[in-house]
């Protein structure tokens, strides 16, 4: 059975390359991964005042992430870091006592129109996620930085760069082995 993966889309753009990347992955890996995009656009700004009584859409967002086998982050880079909307969503996940991400298997992909493919954003993201209140079990290595993404995704939303496709294939294969290994370790 396919692994149920919730893909957190770090972009709020309606024409997001990172969303297109996730949609491409959803189709390409449908036999192994059941990927559902999860959006962070409309979440209220986190405040400690309401962390235990979050608005309905935040509750829905947290429940949506909880109801998954694994999590995937699709990360754009804004000013050498992750976009504020993504940080806000992660702040919500870190609070309220439910620790939705803890020990959940996950991996990260990211793209930008610049040549570095969101490398700085992903470095920040890994650091943020290392907080014990978050702490998903992230696939080590396998760092997916898709630079010049606008030249690698066509009008139909398909990835057209063969080297990137081959690399993504290997990352997904590695994630599935990692996921299976994680599950076996938990069962043992
Ligand atoms: C406010 C802002 C800041 C950005 N900063 C960076 C940056 O630091 N590094 C980079 O490579 N691209 C940067 N970009 C370009 C984004 O990576 C590019 O717009 C990318 O397509 C965003 O992802 P999306 O298409 O999924 O929304 C920035 C874009 C915006 C709007």
Q: What is the distance in A from the centroid of ligand 1 to the CA of 47?
A: 26
Q: What is the pTM of this model?
A: 0.96
Beta pairing, strands 3-9 & 33-39: parallel
Q: What is the distance in A from the centroid of ligand 1 to the CA of 113?
A: 7
The 3-state DSSP class for residue 182 equals helix
Q: How far apart are CA 43 and CA 64, in angstroms?
A: 13
Angle subtended at Cα 105 by Cα 186 and Cα 83, rounded to the nearest 5 degrees: 155
Q: What is the distance in A from the centroid of ligand 1 to the CA of 121?
A: 10
Instruction: Tell me the β-bridge partners of 146.
Output: 111
Beta pairing, strands 70-75 & 3-9: parallel
The residue contributing the CA closest to ligand 1 atom 27 is 16
The residue contributing the CA closest to ligand 1 atom 31 is 78
For the chain, the maximum distance between any two Cα atoms, rounded to a whole number of angstroms, is 48
The 3-state DSSP class for residue 35 equals strand
Residue keyed to tokens 């994680």: 182
- Ligand 1 pocket by C-beta < 6 Å: which residues? 11, 13, 16-18, 76-80, 112-114, 116
The residue contributing the CA closest to ligand 1 atom 3 is 78
pLDDT (tens digit, 0 to 9) for every residue of the chain, 188 residues total?
A: 899 999 999 999 999 999 999 999 999 999 999 999 999 999 999 999 999 999 999 999 999 999 999 999 999 999 999 999 999 999 999 999 999 999 999 999 999 999 999 999 999 999 999 999 999 999 999 999 999 999 999 999 999 999 999 999 999 999 999 999 998 875 55
């Amino acid at each position: 059975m396919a692994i149920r993966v919730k893909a957190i889309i770090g972009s709020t753009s309606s024409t997001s390359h990172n969303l297109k990347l996730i949609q491409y992955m959803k189709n390409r890996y449908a036999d192994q991964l059941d990927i559902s995009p999860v959006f962070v656009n409309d979440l209220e700004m986190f405040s400690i005042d309401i962390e235990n009584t979050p608005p309905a859409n935040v509750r829905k967002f947290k429940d949506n992430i909880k109801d998954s086998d694994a999590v995937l982050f699709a990360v754009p880079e804004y000013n050498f870091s992750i976009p504020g909307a993504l940080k806000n969503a992660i702040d919500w996940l870190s609070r309220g006592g439910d620790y939705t991400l803890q020990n959940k298997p996950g991996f990260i992909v990211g793209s930008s129109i610049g040549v570095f493919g969101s490398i700085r954003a992903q470095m920040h993201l890994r650091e943020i996620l290392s907080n014990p209140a978050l702490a998903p079990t992230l696939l080590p290595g396998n760092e997916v930085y898709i630079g010049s993404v606008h030249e690698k995704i066509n009008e139909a939303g398909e990835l057209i760069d063969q080297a990137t496709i081959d690399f993504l294939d290997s990352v997904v294969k590695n994630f599935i082995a990692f996921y299976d290994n994680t599950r076996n370790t938990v069962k043992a």
